[in-house]
């Protein structure tokens, strides 16, 4: 999984760089069109764009991860989703599904405090790590760390004979 994650991240990083270069040249050609087009209206949209553009690349990357974690947290609160959530979003070595929960359980949190603390820590160091690795490699590290820690959890559960499901990485 880790090799695939980093290989995919390298391809994604290359394609992203290529796209940024192409966009730069396209914007330079289309810059004169902005002067003759009417401006779009909408204060809310401008505020959201202003807020989004004020974030660092790391904070923008982590915003997506936080959104995914919040979405999964909300799914846990829906009674009709409990069976699916226990099957695919908890890591349990005695489960039918072994591989996908290793990844998906990294987005699960037991309580709001648990999720808020994890997301705060992630947010606090995201800018420096993403500036060092790039957003693509950071996501590969994040997902790989989740899968590896779930695997270590499986090994520890097998060694101790405790086969209860767990949340998180």
- In this predicted structure, the answer to whether residue 110 has a pLDDT above a threshold of 90 is no
- Please check whether residues 54 and 32 belong to one and the same domain: no
Residue 13: its H or E element: helix 2-36
Answer yes or no: is 45 within a domain: yes
List Cβ neighbours of 111 (8 Å cut-off, separation of 6 or more). none
Contact indicator for 64, 55 with CB cutoff of 8 Å: no
Contact indicator for 163, 94 with CB cutoff of 8 Å: yes
* Predicted pLDDT at 4: 87
Q: What is the DSSP letter of 20?
A: H
- In this predicted structure, the answer to whether residue 136 has a pLDDT above a threshold of 80 is yes
* Predicted pLDDT at 87: 86
* Predicted pLDDT at 72: 93
- Please check whether residues 47 and 30 belong to one and the same domain: no
> Over the stretch 61-100, which tens digit does the pLDDT of each residue have?
899 999 999 999 999 999 999 888 888 888 887 777 778 8
Residue the block writes with tokens 């936080």:
66
Categorize the per-residue pLDDT at 33 as very low, low, confident or very high, splitting at 50, 70 and 90. low
- Please check whether residues 44 and 27 belong to one and the same domain: no
71-94 burial by CB neighbour count: b if 16+ within 10 A, else e?
ebbebbeeeeeeeebbbebbbbbe
> pTM value?
0.76
Question: Using CA atoms, how far apart are residues 158 and 93, in angstroms rounded to an integer?
Answer: 7
- Please check whether residues 117 and 142 belong to one and the same domain: yes
- In this predicted structure, the answer to whether residue 169 has a pLDDT above a threshold of 80 is no
Answer yes or no: is 106 within a domain: no
Answer yes or no: is 143 within a domain: yes
- Please check whether residues 24 and 60 belong to one and the same domain: no
CA distances from residue 6 to 12, 138, 143, 167 in whole angstroms, order as listed: 10, 9, 10, 24
Q: Is 93 helix (H, G, I), strand (E, B) or coil?
A: coil
Answer yes or no: is 86 within a domain: no
- Please check whether residues 30 and 47 belong to one and the same domain: no
* Predicted pLDDT at 37: 60
* Predicted pLDDT at 53: 84
* Predicted pLDDT at 140: 92
pLDDT-wise least confident of 25-39, 81-95, 114-128: 25-39
Categorize the per-residue pLDDT at 138 as very low, low, confident or very high, splitting at 50, 70 and 90. very high
Neighbours of 152 (CB within 10 A): 11
- Please check whether residues 115 and 149 belong to one and the same domain: yes
Task: State mean pLDDT over 89-116.
Answer: 84
Question: Using CA atoms, how far apart are residues 46 and 44, in angstroms rounded to an integer?
Answer: 5
Query: 24 is in which domain, residue-wise?
Result: 1-37
């Amino acid at each position: 999984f880790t090799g695939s994650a980093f290989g995919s991240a390298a391809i994604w990083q290359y394609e992203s760089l290529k796209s940024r270069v192409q966009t730069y040249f396209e914007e330079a050609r289309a810059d004169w069109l902005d002067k003759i087009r009417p401006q779009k209206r909408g204060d809310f949209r401008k505020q959201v764009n202003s807020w989004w553009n004020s974030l660092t690349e790391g904070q923008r990357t982590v915003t997506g991860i936080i959104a995914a974690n919040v979405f999964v947290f909300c799914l846990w609160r829906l009674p009709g989703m409990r069976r699916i959530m226990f099957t695919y979003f908890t890591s349990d070595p005695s489960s039918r599904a072994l591989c996908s929960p290793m990844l998906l359980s990294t987005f699960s949190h037991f309580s709001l405090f648990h999720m808020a603390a994890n997301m705060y820590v992630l947010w606090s160091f995201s800018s420096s790590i993403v500036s060092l690795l790039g957003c693509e490699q950071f996501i590969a590290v994040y997902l790989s760390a989740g899968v590896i820690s779930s695997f270590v959890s499986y090994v520890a559960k097998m060694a101790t004979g405790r086969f209860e499901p767990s949340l998180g990485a």
